[in-house]
Structures are given as structure tokens and as C-alpha cells.
Amino acid sequence: MEFMFNPKDFINSPYGDCPFCKDKNSFGVLMIHTNSYTRRCKTCMKSQSYRLPNIRKTIIYLDQFVISNMMKVINPKWKDKGIVTQSFWREMFEKLDILSKYQLIICPDSITHFDESVVSSNYKQLKRMYELLSYGITFEEFSTLERFITCEYARKWVRNEVIENDSLLDLKSVIRGDFNKWQDRFIISVDLGNNDLIIDEIETHNERCRDDITNLFEAWRSSDNFNFNEHYLYELDQSGKMIVKIYMEYLQQCDRIFKGDTSVNPEILMGNNISILVHSVKSSLVSEGIQSENSLEKTFEFFLSDHYKKLPPLRISSLMWTALARRAAVVKQKRIPKGSIFNDIKTISNIFSYCDAIFIDKECASLLEEVKSEIGYNDTRIFSMNTLDEFFLYLDNIKENMSKEHENQVYEVYGKDRIKPYTEMYL
Ligand SMILES: [Zn+2]
């Protein structure tokens, strides 16, 4: 069948009267850009662009279980299977999707959504759900975020600049894509092709996490004399020491390969997250005037310094791990957390400071609440199933605070009839 291309197909409602040929209801929306949109007439094909005001969207991070439950509640396939998901998930989806269509919120996705979806048999459906609410706007990979902020702190350290606890990265380098833009109506989705290798890797990682948390938790539980501050300092201290240790091992292995030792896998030369991190910090220090021959020594000095321990993601994750250790050591909690706690803490510690609100599982939310005052500067709202009503109220407030001008602008660009939840997404 021949594909017939009609340029008029790209002109969409809402229509108005054409200012050029004066035809009634023919002047539709052709394209929506970051801060402007274009209308074109279906009759005379003349077009005109209009400016749109700058907007600042509320950034809300949703844990994977939220994505998964919202997908199930609006997906008839799950109803057919007899799985009835509680109606508040539908309510949550409707509130979020409407706010997103009003251009008031953005729910960026992250590598965690991908990792936790790709191993599921519902990968495509999950991906559709998180991309509907993120418009493809995504947090940088966490190893990249950690590298950016570590290099920034290293540069400040070598310049003897005072590092405040709230020195964070610019949002533009944390979130990939222009999140404060008027969204076009289309979502461009990229699929990574064959995922089998990635799936194997994630499944092996998940198994290791299950074993690790069991061992850790049991070790904590058998300890007496738990002291929160001591444990927190220990966690902070370990991170820099581990980086130096892993990097030294990497150097030794590279050295053996160069000397012809065939028992070492040559793929090691490709590097790992730690070697990339160390190399980046080293280059940052050289660019600040540190002599090349001293740069590795200086890099190690930084990782073992108190300045490194001020990194927000490191402080947040160390505090959360310490709060978890306290539950084992002091409360003698019997239930061992799931292996996914590693991913959860990594995700939260990297994105928390950049969000206006996060909705996470009850365990992580309560760990985070316990240590929130220690993090200090942060005013990110933390929500979980325990505070569902507050979350709904928070979302309702965002809508109520929308100005009449903004609302009318949205109707003019997208059409009032389009501002409704996409509950038929999986039909
Ligand atoms: Zn016209």
C-alpha cells in the first residue's frame, strides 16, 4: 500500500479562525516548541508562531512500584487476569497525568526504572507508563552524576574554597532534556534493541544484592554497642577508602597485563566506574594546576579527605545505611530488607536533593525521614503509602495554585478536551 503523505495531517485542534484567509475554524496547531508554538491554516497553509511564557515545573520522582501499579490499574489485561488493583492507583494516575498535561509537573525517569522494567515480562507497558509522565526526560545515570559532583568538589577542595553541605549540581547537568518546556504532543521513545545481555547482568546483580543484604543485616543484628554517629562516620570513611583500594587493584591488574600475564582478563583495561571516576578527578585536579606527576597522589588525598565526605549523595546514602543498621542492631528487626534496597538507596541519594517531591516505598521513606534533619538543607517532600492522603493533597494544591492565565494558555495550545487522563493507553 502506498503511503500518502498529507501535510494537513500535522495540523491539529484546537482550531481558530485564520487571520490570513479568514476561513472559519481552519487555523490549527502545527507544532509546540520549548517556549513557542506554531499554528497553520488548513485552507491557505499560511502559518504563524506565538511565544509561550516561561514555566517552572514541579519535579516529582515516582518509585518503580508506583509506575507498576498505575500500569496495572488502567490495563485491561490485568483485570482479565483477575488482578484487582486498588482504586487509589487509578486516582493517582489521573491526578499525575492531568497535572503533567497542564505542564505543571514533570516526573523524570531514571536508570532504575529501566533496570527494574527490562527484567519484567511487562517491559514495554511499564516503559510506556514512565515515559508518558516523563516525556522522555531522564535523570543522568548515577555513576555520571557521582562523577560530576565529585569532580566539582575536588576542584573546590584544591582551590581551598569553602564547601557548603548544600553545594549541588546545576539541574541542567542532572536531568537530561529540557524539563521546563511546553511539551510537544509526541513522545519519542528509544529502545535499546537486544536487551538479553543487560537482563543477565541485572539478574546477576540482583542475586548478589540479596546475598549481600542478608549478610550485612545479620552482622549488624549480632553487634552490641551500636552508636549512630560512629557508624555514620565509618560509612563515610569506607567510601573513599574503597575507591582507593579498588583503583589500586585495577592498576596492579593493568600492570600485569602489560607485563604479559595472560591470566588477567584483558577487558579490565576498558576500565570500570571507579577507574573512570578516579581518572576524571585526576584530570580536574590537573586542570586546576596540579602537576601531572603528583596528580594521582593528590587524587587519593582528596578521596580520603573530609571534603570528599561532604558530597551530598555520599552523606545521604551513608545516613540511610546507618539508619538501617540501627534497625538491625538496636531494634533487632527480624525482617531482612529486600536486595533492591541497594538500588533504592543509590537512586534516592542521587536524586533526592533535586526533586520537589518523591514517592517511595514505606521502608525507604521512613529511613529518610529519620535522617532528614541530618541532611539539613533539604526541603524535598517525602511521600509513601503511609502518607497517600497528604500526597493527593499536595497534587491537588499544585492544580489549585495554577493561574487562570496559565490554564487558558494550556487550553489554547493543547485544547481543553485533551486535558484528561490517558486511561485508555493500553486499550
Ligand atoms: Zn488561511
pTM for the full predicted model: 0.92
Task: Give the bridge partners for 127, in sequence order.
Answer: none
CA of 410 to the centre of ligand 1 (A): 23
pLDDT at residue 186 greater than cutoff 80: no
CA of 416 to the centre of ligand 1 (A): 23
Residue 4 to residue 297: CA distance in whole angstroms: 65
CA of 414 to the centre of ligand 1 (A): 20
> Mean of the pLDDT values across residues 197-209?
85
CA of 96 to the centre of ligand 1 (A): 37
CA of 316 to the centre of ligand 1 (A): 58
Residue 286 is predicted with a pLDDT of: 97
CA of 24 to the centre of ligand 1 (A): 9
Q: Say which residue the cell 579490565 belongs to.
A: 268
CA of 29 to the centre of ligand 1 (A): 13
CA of 48 to the centre of ligand 1 (A): 11
Supply angle C-alpha 319, 322, 327, rounded to 5: 130
Residue 165 is predicted with a pLDDT of: 58
CA of 40 to the centre of ligand 1 (A): 8
CA of 167 to the centre of ligand 1 (A): 53
CA of 47 to the centre of ligand 1 (A): 8
pLDDT at residue 163 greater than cutoff 90: no
Give me the amino acid identity at 154: A
CA of 43 to the centre of ligand 1 (A): 5
Residue 18 is predicted with a pLDDT of: 97
CA of 28 to the centre of ligand 1 (A): 10
pLDDT in tens, 307-320: 999 999 999 999 99
pLDDT at residue 193 greater than cutoff 70: no
Chain mean position to CA 307 = 25
H-assigned helices in 186-308: 196-221, 228-258, 273-287, 295-303
pLDDT at residue 88 greater than cutoff 90: yes
Mean pLDDT, all residues of the chain: 91
Answer for the pair 299, 282: CB distance below 8 angstroms, yes or no.
yes
CA of 176 to the centre of ligand 1 (A): 38
CA of 142 to the centre of ligand 1 (A): 50
Give residue limits of the domains in the chain.
9-51
Residue 152 to residue 210: CA distance in whole angstroms: 34
pLDDT in tens, 117-139: 888 888 999 999 999 999 999 99
